[in-house]
Amino acid sequence: MRAISVVLCFAFAAWIAPQTAAQRGLPKGLGFRTEHEGKFYVFDTASKIAKPVDLGSEEIGSLAYSATARVLAFEGSRGHDEPRSLFVSDATTGARREIASARNGPALYNPAFDPTGQNIFAVESGVGLRRYNLTSARWMAVRVAGTDGIAPQGIAFSPSGQRVALLPYGLKGYFIGRIASDSVIVSERILSDFLSCSDVEWLSETVIVFLARRVAGIQYIWKYDVESRELRAISRDTVGTRDHLSVSPDRHSLIFTATSRLSTDWKVWSMNVDGTGLRKLTSGEFGHLSPVWIY
């Protein structure tokens, strides 16, 4: 299958009135949130325009999308300094609901879907993982077994959902495990010699891509096979990445937040998973964070 081709131009059309998600659902394209402004936009690859979409919150945080369920999960708040709750928005109907309130419960962040699209995992600060089921509309604690003191900061699922990668507190490497009922069973720790690690995604059942630094300086994109132990950097010195990475629907390309070495202009870039085809996708005001494909 041919990798998704994304156009290079980006018109930040401030004059376009925000679409309300509840009116028509979510448009397909590349979704991201803006730094400082805190708004949500969807970049249309055909028209080359990013349109603001009103998700019902003044400030948008981290994003996650399930193509299986056609649901967007996001952090939202009433303002820049307000605590964030977790919400879901149906991409077809635009129906929105709050699933975790910052006012009435523990703070939950960094939402992630499992491959079924029925379960959303989120981080409870200083505690661990919690799982929300879209059908039952209930949260439950997720026990991490096999090691102590991980305090996960994020979770990523392999395409089958059988394997997971956990980013631990301290951001040193990852823990690989598997899902078992209400638990994650950790089997090994990998890449703990890196100075710092952040976002991770699975390309296959054995290969992950991740953002990390081996030494102080630029954060690169790396590819690692958890079975063969083959490791290589797939990005180059021309760009430095930030902590946001997403895999295209066909798993042939990546989108991520980055900047050239000549600026601190954080925008969405794209690259093939073999490291070729690096290109900047967006431009305009503010940083463009948490890119996700909505399809």
Could you give phi then psi for residue 167, rounded to 5 degrees?
Answer: -90, 120
Q: Is residue 19 part of a domain?
A: yes
Q: What are phi and psi of 22, to 5 degrees?
A: -70, -15
pTM value is 0.90
Q: Is residue 5 part of a domain?
A: no
Residue 271 counted as domain residue: yes
Residue pLDDT tens, the chain, 295 long: 433 333 333 333 332 345 666 557 899 999 999 999 999 999 998 888 899 999 999 999 999 999 999 999 999 999 888 999 999 999 999 999 999 998 888 889 999 999 999 999 999 988 899 999 999 999 999 999 999 889 999 999 999 999 999 999 999 999 999 999 899 999 999 999 999 999 999 999 999 999 999 999 999 999 999 999 999 999 999 899 999 999 999 999 999 999 987 778 899 999 999 999 999 999 888 999 999 999 9
Residue 4 resides in a domain? no
In Å, how far from its chain's centre is CA 71?
14
pLDDT of residue 147: 92
Whether residue 155 is contained in a domain is answered as yes
Domain count of the fold of the chain = 1
Residue 6 lies in a domain: no
CA distance 115 to 95: 21
Within-domain flag for 225: yes
CATH code for position 68: 2.120.10.30
Q: Domain limits at 287?
A: 11-294
What is the reported pLDDT for 91? 97
Q: Given this model, what pLDDT does residue 18 score? A: 56
- Tell the burial category of 126 from Cβ atoms under 10 Å away from its Cβ (0-12, 13-18, 19+): exposed
